[in-house]
Amino acid sequence: ITHFSLGFSPVGQILCLEKEVLVLEKNRLLLSPSSSCFFSWGSPDNSCAFGNYVTEKVLSEGLRGWGTTLCAACPNSTTVITAGTSTVVCVWRVTVNSADFLSLQPLYGHTDSVTCLAVSEVHNMVVSGSCDLTCILWDLEELSYITQLTGHTNSISALAINDLTGEIASCAGPELYLWTMKGQLLSSSDTSSGPRADILCVCFSQRHEWDSRNVIVTGCTNGVMQIWKTEYTATQLPGPPEEPVSPGDKCWERRLVLCRELSRSQVMSQRPSRRNPAITALAMSRSHATLLAGDAWGRVFTWTCEA
């Protein structure tokens, strides 16, 4: 385990590039891995801005009139997706130098503030999570509604899309949900292992689609990361319990299984600390040999993964 510090701002995004790791503070996203330009939101006047990642200089500002922006996603260097208290998911074509925001399509469907976004160009999909206890899947190319993910018991706090399989992880309070890209619930689990700790970020490892070592990692408000794998378990189809069960009467379902919990304080002192800062960002290295975690104190820790 090693670490470096961003300062005192919570970590918002960790990007693992071929030769370097880029870290951005909360409410900032890099437009693309090849770009030095970031998009930021959260200003008191509800404006958004573009800036230079290297010099920290703000290049231009714009985009007012859609309430308070709470989350954003940048699928490529010319597209920005924003959402927030207006309940509307807005897709913009952007020109950085002139701060020109061309509205491609406002996406209506949520009935409360939108709190998080995830996007996959590979699967042509945007997922939005809201305080209305639902997620909505949108077609990124057609900018249209696909389906809604329902059944959450808390506001959605984190989302991730697996670019290999199209599976979606949604987090609501301490609950982790796994869905297919068509909106079918595969599995869910309460991640609490003591006092309630809500999930703030989630990511997939993506070695190969068929690789059993692929996992889901969640980062929580108590400073603990949890590593989850999925297993198939046999379940009996509905029917009279007194009748004998034949192999044809069973089906297989996915189940989330906790593999390991990681905490910096526990590594250092052999016991968990009550003062751990929340885990606010997660990323896997390109080789999948290292897990990176950013916290609310602006620190980034790296963990060497087992082979």
- Residue 105: the pLDDT is 87
Looking at the domain assignment, is residue 163 inside a domain?
yes
C-alpha atoms less than 13 angstroms from C-alpha of 24 in its C-beta half-sphere: 24
Q: Which CATH number is 62's domain given?
A: 2.130.10.10
Residue 242 in domain: no
Q: What is the pLDDT along the chain (307 residues), one digit of tens a residue?
A: 455 555 668 999 999 888 888 999 999 999 877 778 899 998 888 888 888 888 888 877 766 667 899 999 999 888 999 999 999 999 988 876 655 677 788 999 999 999 999 999 999 999 999 999 999 999 999 999 999 999 999 999 999 999 999 999 999 999 999 999 999 999 999 988 777 899 999 999 887 655 567 899 999 999 999 999 988 887 655 555 555 555 555 677 889 999 999 987 654 444 555 578 999 999 998 888 889 999 999 999 998 876 5
Residue 241 within any structural domain of the chain: no
159-162 long-range contacts, Cβ below 8 Å, gap at least 24? 159/116, 159/117, 159/118, 159/127, 159/128, 159/129, 159/135, 159/202, 160/118, 160/202, 160/203, 160/204, 160/216, 161/118, 161/119, 161/120, 161/123, 161/125, 161/127, 161/204, 162/204, 162/206
- On whether residue 215 sits in a domain, the answer given is yes
Structural domain count, the chain: 1
> What is the residue range of 97's domain?
2-236+249-304
Amino acid at 141: E
Predicted TM-score of the model (pTM): 0.87
Please indicate, yes or no, if residue 243 is contained in any of the structural domains. Answer: no
Q: Are 205 and 217 in contact (CB under 8 A)?
A: yes
Coil, helix or strand at residue 102? strand
Structural domain contains residue 244? no
